[in-house]
Amino acid sequence: MKSERQLLEVPISDGVLTVARWIAEGPRILLVHGISSSHMAWYDIANCLHDKGYDIIAPDLRGRGASSSVHGGYGLKAHENDLIQIINYFSGKPVTLVGHSMGAYIGVKFAENFPEYLERLILVDGGIALPRPMNVEPEAYLLKTLGPALDRLSLEFDDKEAYFNFWRAHPSFSDPTNWSEGVEHFLEYDLESTESGRFKSRVSKDAVLKDGGDLMAPSMATMINKVKTPMLLLTAERGLLNQEKPMLPVAAVKEKVTLIEHLAWQEIARTNHYSITLSTGIAPVSAAIQNFCHSCK
């Protein structure tokens, strides 16, 4: 497993966040993970970009990974403030922000409020508001949408193999081409031991529910329209549960691309919402990020 990664403790206003760093002399990229994930969702993409000379920063967001002990409040505003402090810690110069899933929505909100910190914004299977039936409460919709990813937060496992097997049954990993050594490293990083000697995810369920509620705020539907930063949207071909329909409806994506002239779009073939960063999407997503960085110089 290749890595030139350092794990750093970065002070923020109400605690310390763990931030992974791949140091290089090239342009700086800030990688922001999804709602129940960690920086390890970016591990292989980070290595690919670092090999090309990019300086990579990838935090564990509060309530996740090695930052799971940060409890000073959740929600997109808290993440937004954390990213400002992270960027300032590493010199304060503008970055390219690449966000996956919830990280993409954080990126859109960040670009609207703090454009001076960004050179460009890359959204990976997120950033465009998800359609939610008005008669369905946000928490119920979140439970239905995330499925096993949220269920696991209430479970304990005998060992890491039991945890791997739980995820192998997930529709997005049932196809062996979507499973990889990187997936196993990502899952292993997610685990912590319990007092009973078993294991559980170290993602905070409270963080997921609070952040998920913010993602469904009515303001999210038009927030991307206000972003002036050059943007690239990369979408998975299949959905969060590997269904044929992608998570972001194609009609909604085309509507935004038509409306926003500085929003480019590329669909990543043979990927779902997870594999777009963890397995089959590693090479094409890395290439797309590099191409967009070069094209916006």
Q: What is the pLDDT of residue 2?
A: 56
pLDDT tens column, 201-242: 999 999 998 999 898 888 888 999 999 999 999 999 999 999
Contact 13, 79 (CB under 8 A): no
| Residue, of 262 and 148, whose pLDDT is higher | 262
pLDDT tens column, 42-64: 999 999 999 999 999 999 999 99
Contact 253, 245 (CB under 8 A): no
Please state, rounded to an integer, the average pLDDT across all residues of the chain: 93
* Residue 141 CB-half CA count within 13 A: 15
In the predicted model, is pLDDT for residue 296 greater than 80? no
In which band, very low, low, confident or very high, does the pLDDT at 92 lie, cut at 50, 70 and 90?
Answer: confident
Token pair belonging to 104: 């993409």
Mean pLDDT (whole number) for 89-112: 95
Q: What is the pTM of this model?
A: 0.96
Which residue matches tokens 């990019």?
54
CA dist., res. 118 & res. 138, Å (int): 30
| Domain spanning 6-133+205-295: CATH superfamily | Alpha/Beta hydrolase fold, catalytic domain (3.40.50.1820)
Q: What is the pLDDT of residue 1?
A: 44
Q: What is the pLDDT of residue 72?
A: 77
What would you report as the CA-atom Rg of the chain, rounded to the nearest whole angstrom?
18
In the predicted model, is pLDDT for residue 144 greater than 90? no
In the predicted model, is pLDDT for residue 141 greater than 80? no
Give the C-alpha distances (Å, rounded to integers) separating 227 from 86, 92, 115, 121, 276. Answer: 21, 20, 8, 9, 24
